[in-house]
């Protein structure tokens, strides 16, 4: 089977979908995803998406992002993201994304940890699902966009540092070379490599490992964010996130004696460190988060998904504090890209959590992830349209070397883990 597309996008989260929608309908696009199209981490984002609140907010927003990132951010990338935010939000509203509104119909804003003011748009506590499902519905209506579920990228087609497509494998381990002038890796983070993570377990850095195998430049693999508040559970599997905006709206953190022990609105890494220290001091497996200061109305209306999940787990946040514990949440490192999302391999782009453009620095500011994904996904689409096209790739992949998908993926995961440890050792 010999297939050709103008663009192949690996991943069906916010970055991949937005990139596809930004390309003209004359472009034949293939999107691949390992599971169902709606099982990306973008669907799990609770808190919201940031927006610049006018020119008088620029310095504060810029400083908030830089401070959270320990001033290791790429300032040009931060500026580009912030300056693009209003245009991105206008486009999402045009696409019928249903953000919360005030009584007089204006966009409503909430605040989260390490933000100096409310600048976060939201839809209840399922903002990621609202945005990404809207984009997915629109992609499904486009005749030029084909989405193949349960199809795993197991390699890049590459020769002389020019990308010419991907090698994909279906559930029956049938292998398919699929050719394209451009490939976009938008396949998420590395949470599946961790026992405790808020990510889906199948999102485990496959694309990153494949890129590393082909000597694509990577950066800051050891920059891994721990979210301070996930609902404590002894069961295995993905950890349920208690959104940053819960603390932004006034929730408090208590030790085992019901006493506050930290400033809840500090950056995520600082709050996580405080929780770990308190757990060690108290000899406990969790600390307590008290949502009662928010009031019953806010809990039920602003955080209905969190409230319902807590109830199902046996905790009533209207009546009692809930047990929370830090867990792996987000990957600030990844495949090194420029401001147009180009990687070091010609014809290969990366955007979303699998990429590293320097926006987040060493620690991501809350609710910058969806915005950053959309801004740089659009940049990738525009560069494919208006940038200089690479020479054709002349590679002929040897399909006999792809036999067992699970063995291949384990190898790629090991490459990522070794890369993380190597970078940690260089600190």
Q: What's the Rg (C-alpha) of the chain?
A: 21
Pairing status of strand 287-290 against strand 322-331: antiparallel
Query: What b/e sequence results for 341-356 when a residue is b if at least 16 CB atoms lie within 10 Å of its CB, and e otherwise?
Result: bbbbbbbbbbbbbbbb
How far is residue 286's CA from residue 196's CA, in Å, rounded to a whole number? Answer: 13
Q: Is 268 a catalytic residue?
A: yes
Strand boundaries in 33-161, DSSP class E = 49-50, 120-121, 145-148, 152-159
C-alpha dihedral sign at 190, 193, 194, 198: positive
Cα–Cα dist 201/191, whole Å:
7
Choose, from 268, 364, 378, 379, the residue flagged as catalytic: 268
3-state helix, strand, coil in the chain (%, to 5): 35, 20, 40
Alpha-carbon distance 93 to 232, whole Å? 35
Question: Burial, 101: exposed, middle or buried (Cβ in 10 Å; 0-12, 13-18, 19+)?
Answer: exposed
Give the C-alpha separation, 179 to 2, whole Å. 8
Q: Which residues are annotated as catalytic?
A: 268
């Amino acid at each position: 089977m010999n297939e050709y597309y103008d663009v192949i996008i690996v991943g069906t989260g916010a970055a991949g979908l937005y990139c596809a929608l930004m390309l003209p309908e004359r472009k034949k696009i293939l999107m691949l995803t390992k599971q169902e199209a709606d099982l990306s981490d973008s669907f799990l984002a609770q808190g919201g998406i940031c927006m610049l609140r006018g020119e008088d907010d620029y310095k504060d927003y810029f400083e908030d992002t830089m401070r959270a990132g320990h001033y290791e951010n790429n300032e040009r990338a931060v500026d580009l993201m912030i300056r693009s935010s209003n245009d991105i939000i206008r486009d999402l509203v045009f696409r019928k994304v249903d953000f919360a509104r005030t009584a007089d119909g204006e966009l409503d804003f909430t605040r989260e940890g390490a933000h100096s003011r409310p600048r976060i748009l939201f839809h209840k506590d399922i903002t990621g699902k609202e945005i990404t499902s809207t984009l997915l519905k629109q992609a499904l209506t486009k005749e030029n966009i084909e989405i193949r579920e349960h199809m795993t990228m197991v390699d890049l087609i590459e020769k002389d540092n020019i990308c010419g497509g991907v090698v994909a494998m279906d559930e029956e381990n049938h292998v398919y070379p699929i050719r394209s002038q451009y490939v976009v890796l938008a396949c998420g983070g590395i949470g599946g490599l961790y026992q405790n993570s808020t990510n889906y377990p199948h999102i485990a850095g496959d694309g990153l490992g494949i890129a590393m195998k082909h000597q694509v430049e990577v950066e800051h693999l050891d920059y891994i964010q721990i979210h301070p508040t996930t609902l404590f559970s002894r069961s295995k599997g993905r950890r349920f996130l208690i959104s940053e905006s819960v603390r932004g709206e006034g929730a408090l953190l208590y030790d085992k004696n019901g006493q506050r022990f930290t400033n809840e609105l500090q950056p995520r890494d600082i709050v996580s460190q405080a929780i770990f220290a308190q757990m060690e001091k108290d000899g406990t497996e969790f600390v307590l988060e008290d949502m009662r200061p928010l009031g019953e109305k806010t809990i039920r209306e602003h955080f209905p998904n969190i409230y319902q999940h807590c109830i199902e787990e046996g905790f009533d946040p209207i009546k009692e504090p809930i047990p929370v514990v830090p867990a792996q949440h987000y990957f600030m490192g990844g495949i090194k890209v420029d401001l147009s999302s180009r990687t070091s391999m010609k014809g290969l782009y990366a955007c979303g959590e699998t990429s590293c453009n320097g926006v987040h620095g060493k620690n991501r500011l809350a609710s910058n992830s969806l915005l950053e994904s959309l801004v740089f996904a659009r940049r990738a689409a525009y560069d494919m349209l208006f940038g200089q096209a690479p020479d054709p790739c002349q590679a002929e992949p040897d399909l006999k070397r792809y036999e067992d998908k699970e063995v291949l993926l384990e190898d790629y995961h090991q490459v990522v883990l070794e890369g993380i440890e190597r970078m940690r050792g260089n600190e």
